[in-house]
């Protein structure tokens, strides 16, 4: 980040602290100080020469980093766990320990996670209004039929006032079980598992294959790869187009 002036919320997001939207909330709440003074103006301009703090924590620019990671089963997707369960940060190398995940996969699920310190990137990929498609390969107990798929497409109330939707297709039958490809545009907690439980076909295995244009190609379980600048720009262009299309 150069010494040219930028909006305070953009500076905070570029430092990897949070998204611009969240930065605005901190500013409006009077939690942001510039050179020791509380700033409540959303359009306030700053540079790298200024000292910015949020709740007394100094915010400094850092190199923005993006990785795709093949999460193995047995680990939860969080930085800390009060119950002492194993997290992905127990097996990720130190060089990427500062990166935050875009969404989560539960302990028993495997597949693609995107991690970054770019707050705006996280917000855009996960924001419900943009509706980034997430593709999963799921094996469920029993033999599903077209009626089951229609129920999932029309929506299931998995929690009070929370309706979950899924586009699904049957790929194969393995013995008494069904292999599905499921596409989600939401990010509700344990959404696929709750939907399949509801229709009486509990999940046996669940793997996320892709999020938007990013997939697992070339990755083995437990492995990560950095996204190249060209890939990052492709994703940002994709998100812009998706956001624009959804507003039509």
Q: How confident is the model at residue 138 (pLDDT cuts 50, 70, 90)?
A: very high
On whether both 152 and 200 belong to a single domain, the answer is: yes
Number of domains in the chain: 3
Q: Does residue 51 contact residue 4 with C-beta atoms inside 8 Å?
A: no
On whether both 240 and 146 belong to a single domain, the answer is: no
On whether both 241 and 120 belong to a single domain, the answer is: yes
In a domain, 35, yes or no: yes
In a domain, 1, yes or no: no
In this prediction, residue 3 carries a pLDDT of 60
On whether both 138 and 205 belong to a single domain, the answer is: yes
Model confidence at 2: pLDDT above 70: no
On whether both 121 and 229 belong to a single domain, the answer is: yes
- 90 assigned to active site: no
Q: How many Cβ atoms from other residues are within 10 Å of residue 144's Cβ?
A: 22
Q: What is the DSSP letter of 93?
A: -
Q: Which domain holds residue 232?
A: 66-129+213-246
Question: Both tokens of residue 231?
Answer: 């890939």
Query: Which one of the listed residues 50, 106, 108, 215 is annotated catalytic?
Result: 106
User: How many H-runs (helices) and E-runs (strands) does the chain carry?
Assistant: 6, 17
On whether both 42 and 161 belong to a single domain, the answer is: no
**Least trusted range by pLDDT, from 28-37, 120-129, 208-217:** 120-129
């Amino acid at each position: 980040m150069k010494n040219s002036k930028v909006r305070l919320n953009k500076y905070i997001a570029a430092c990897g602290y949070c998204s611009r939207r969240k930065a605005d909330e901190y500013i409006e709440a009077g939690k942001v100080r510039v050179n020791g003074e509380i700033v409540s103006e959303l359009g306030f301009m700053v540079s790298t020469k200024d000292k910015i703090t949020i709740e007394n924590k100094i915010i400094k620019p850092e190199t923005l980093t993006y990785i795709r990671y093949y999460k193995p089963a047995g680990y939860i997707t969080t930085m800390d766990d009060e119950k002492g369960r194993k997290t992905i940060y127990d097996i990720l190398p130190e060089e990427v320990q500062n990166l935050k995940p875009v969404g989560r996969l539960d302990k028993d699920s495997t597949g693609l996670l995107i991690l970054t310190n770019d707050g705006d990137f996280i917000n855009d990929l996960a924001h419900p209004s943009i509706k980034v498609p997430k593709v999963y390969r799921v094996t469920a107990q029993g033999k599903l039929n077209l009626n089951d798929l229609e129920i999932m497409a029309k929506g299931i109330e998995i929690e009070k006032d929370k309706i979950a939707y899924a586009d699904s297709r049957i790929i194969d039958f393995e013995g008494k079980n069904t292999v599905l490809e499921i596409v989600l545009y939401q990010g509700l907690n344990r959404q696929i598992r709750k939907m399949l439980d509801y229709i009486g076909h509990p999940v046996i295995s669940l793997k996320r294959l892709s999020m938007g244009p990013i997939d697992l190609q070339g990755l083995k379980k437990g492995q990560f790869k950095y996204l190249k600048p060209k890939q990052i720009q492709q994703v940002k262009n994709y998100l812009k187009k998706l956001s624009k299309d959804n507003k039509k």
